[in-house]
Amino acid sequence: MRRMAKTAMVGILGLIAGMAQAGGEIVVGQQLEPPHMDPTSAAAGAIDEVLYSNVFEGLTRFGPDGSVNPGLAESWEISDDGLVYTFRLQGGVSFHDGTAMDAGDVKFTLDRARDETSQNAQKALFEGISQVDVVDDLTVKVSLSAPNGNLLFNLAWGDAVIVAPESIGEIKQNPIGTGAFRFDDWVQGDQITLVRNEDYWGTPAKLDKATFKFISDPTAAFAAMMAEDVDVFGGYPAPENLPQFEADARFQVLVGSTEGETILAINNQVEPLNNVLVREAIAHAIDRQAIIDGAMFGLGTPIGTHFAPHHPDYVDLTGISQYDPDLAKTLLAQAGFPDGFKTTLKLPPPSYARRGGEIIAAQLRAVGIETEISTLEWAQWLEQVFRGKDFGLTIVSHTEPFDIGIYARPEYYFQYDNPDFQALNAALMQETDPAARSDLMVKMQRMISEDYVNGYLFQLATPTVANAKLRGLWKDAPTQATDLTGVYWEE
């Protein structure tokens, strides 16, 4: 009510002043609260969901379709050997504390991220950067030890946003960035408020103020939306309520795609799962659509490899592992397990894993594979499964964008060790020609699919429930972000 009154007042004032100032405030609901506000030293997606692009910006930035666009770097040149990137920075950019953003800040950011004592959760993004040089105030030269076709993409991540040495000490409680919104207040456990940055260098934000409210309970999220306490809920946690919101004229529902490949991860080094026939049998025992319908209320796109379906280079390989329980039984018999076998299925907390796990266990049982299900908290899962590699099967969504490179790491938790794949990945890292890159990516997708490394289930969808009058929201989530810079209230 207060918000409406204020919106109306701002509208009237705008009319009087004779300019089309949209203004207004917005309350954004999200499930998880950031632990602190430094996107460059934690894995928590919740930090980026509040701050990415709103408060912090990188040299490049992700667009709503996942494309990589210029950010604080206005343009760049790549040397012919692909080893030197010269970035030309936007002029007249200042941090929210008033200090100027210049080449020194870029050097500071990149050096800090790749330092020995760095606490960057995605330090691998900066691997291969050998030196960063300040050419002049607005020009930075980044030198690589080997060509890296992913560099511009890597620099768009929330973990690579530009920070200043002056404000780094307090960044966890008081984030100082260059974005269209400035951090205002944080009531821990409850909400974070951002206000419009009036001195923004680019197109200014339309909203005056944005409040992020943290509501972890799905029932509470439903109540908060229904009572219109919250204007938009990103990653809405109760998909079973979506039809109700769709039928209500007060709301709009956007179902978008994410970068989350949800897989039945298989430990490739333990008996009998190290046998490709066994893994192939598992792949054919799984009915993806039944999992999507049963565990996700129909939200999600089936995938046949570890690649996002909305990526231009995606190939649909679901046919390689189509649902065929009879074939699965035959393959098991061929592998020497006519009566099946028993393994563990360890499930982390998200509902895709807990609900999906029950369905997969039933599907596997139908072909003779018994699973012992155990449910784990994230901290336990990281320790037992991810670091300890003490598992047979697990279900997890890999939410990092373009992360097929994990299959080139034999020590990575599912332990796929294939020199051919590692060679392809190395070639991709070096390649900068788009056509050749595309060709390599298709080969990589096919190789892991044909090796049945993991059971490829579906691409995680993200439902957003919002007030019907809101415009400019992102439908898809190419990175974990709630970019509010283009959001406004329709008159």
Partner 1 sequence: MLRYVARRLLSLAMSLLVASAVIFLALEVVPGDPASYMLGMNAQEDTLAALREELGLNKGMVARYLGWLGGMVQGDFGISYTYRTPVSGMIADRLWISLPLAVYALILSTLIAFPAGIWAASRRGSWVDLGVMGTTQLGVAIPNFWFAILMVLIFSINLRWFSAGGFAGWDDGLLMGLKSLTLPAIALALPQASILTRVMRSALLDTLGEDFIRTARAKGLSRGQALRRHALRNAMIPVLTIIGLQFSFLLAGAIIIENIFFLPGLGQLVFKAISARDLIVVESVVMLLVFAVIVVNFTVDIAYAWVDPRLRGRR
Residue 227 in contact with partner 1, rule: CB under 8 A: yes
Nearer to partner 1, 41 or 321 (CB): 41
Residue 400 in contact with partner 1, rule: CB under 8 A: yes
Q: For residue 449, give the H/E element and its range.
A: helix 434-450
Q: How many CA atoms lie within 13 A of 468 on its CB side?
A: 8
Q: Which of 137, 387, 420, 490 binds partner 1 (CB under 8 A)?
A: 387
Q: For residue 267, give the H/E element and its range.
A: none
Q: Which two tokens stand for residue 122?
A: 């995605």
Distance (Å, whole) CA 335 – CA 275: 7
State in angstroms the smallest separation of the CB of 225 from partner 1: 8
Residue 190 in contact with partner 1, rule: CB under 8 A: yes
Residue 389 in contact with partner 1, rule: CB under 8 A: no
Sheet with strand 73-78: strands edge to edge: 73-78, 84-89, 139-144, 129-136
Q: Which stretch binds partner 1 (CB under 8 A): 273-281, 292-300, 384-392, 421-429?
A: 384-392
Residue 8 in contact with partner 1, rule: CB under 8 A: no
Residue 35 in contact with partner 1, rule: CB under 8 A: yes
Q: Which of 184, 217, 271, 420 binds partner 1 (CB under 8 A)?
A: 217
Q: Which of 378, 426, 434, 438 binds partner 1 (CB under 8 A)?
A: 378
Nearer to partner 1, 336 or 388 (CB): 388
Distance (Å, whole) CA 13 – CA 29: 28
Residue 94 in contact with partner 1, rule: CB under 8 A: no
Residue 310 in contact with partner 1, rule: CB under 8 A: no
Q: Which stretch binds partner 1 (CB under 8 A): 112-120, 147-155, 416-424, 470-478?
A: 112-120
Distance (Å, whole) CA 298 – CA 101: 46
Q: How many CA atoms lie within 13 A of 136 on its CB side?
A: 4
Q: Which of 36, 141, 310, 311 binds partner 1 (CB under 8 A)?
A: 36
Q: Which two tokens stand for residue 207?
A: 């909203």
- One-letter amino acid at 52 equals Y
| Per-residue contact flags (x/-) with partner 1 for residues 132 to 171, judged by CB under 8 A | ----------------------------------------
Question: Which burial class, exposed, middle or buried, applies to 379 when counting CB atoms under 10 A from its CB (0-12, 13-18, 19+)?
Answer: exposed
Q: Which of 96, 206, 213, 346 binds partner 1 (CB under 8 A)?
A: 213
Q: Which of 75, 173, 174, 438 binds partner 1 (CB under 8 A)?
A: 173
Query: How many chain residues bind partner 1 (CB under 8 A)?
Result: 46
Question: Which burial class, exposed, middle or buried, applies to 457 when counting CB atoms under 10 A from its CB (0-12, 13-18, 19+)?
Answer: buried
DSSP secondary structure of 87-121: EEEPSS-B-TTSPBP-HHHHHHHHHHHHSTT---T
Contact 312, 320 (CB under 8 A): no
CA-nearest of 243, 239, 225, 358 to 299 is 239
260 Cβ contact list (under 8 Å, min separation 6):
397, 398, 399, 459, 460
Q: Which of residues 324-353 bind partner 1 (CB under 8 A)?
A: 349
Nearer to partner 1, 122 or 432 (CB): 122
Q: Which of 9, 15, 43, 423 binds partner 1 (CB under 8 A)?
A: 43
Residue 5 in contact with partner 1, rule: CB under 8 A: no
Nearer to partner 1, 246 or 383 (CB): 383
Contact 59, 38 (CB under 8 A): no
State in angstroms the smallest separation of the CB of 28 from partner 1: 13
Q: Which of 143, 191, 330, 375 binds partner 1 (CB under 8 A)?
A: 191
Beta-strand (E) ranges in 172-297?
181-187, 191-196, 209-214, 232-233, 251-266
Q: Which of 83, 100, 168, 224 binds partner 1 (CB under 8 A)?
A: 224
Residue 216 in contact with partner 1, rule: CB under 8 A: yes
Q: Which of 118, 167, 244, 375 binds partner 1 (CB under 8 A)?
A: 118
- Collapse the DSSP code of 198 into the 3-class scheme (helix H, G, I; strand E, B; otherwise coil) and give the result: coil
Q: Which of 77, 383, 433, 490 binds partner 1 (CB under 8 A)?
A: 383
Q: Measured over all CA atoms, what is the biggest interatomic distance in the chain, rounded to whole angstroms? A: 81
Cα Rg, the chain, nearest whole Å: 24
Q: Which residues bind partner 1 (CB under 8 A)?
A: 33, 35-36, 42-44, 116-124, 172-173, 187-191, 213-217, 219-220, 223-224, 226-227, 229, 349, 377-380, 382-384, 386-387, 398, 400
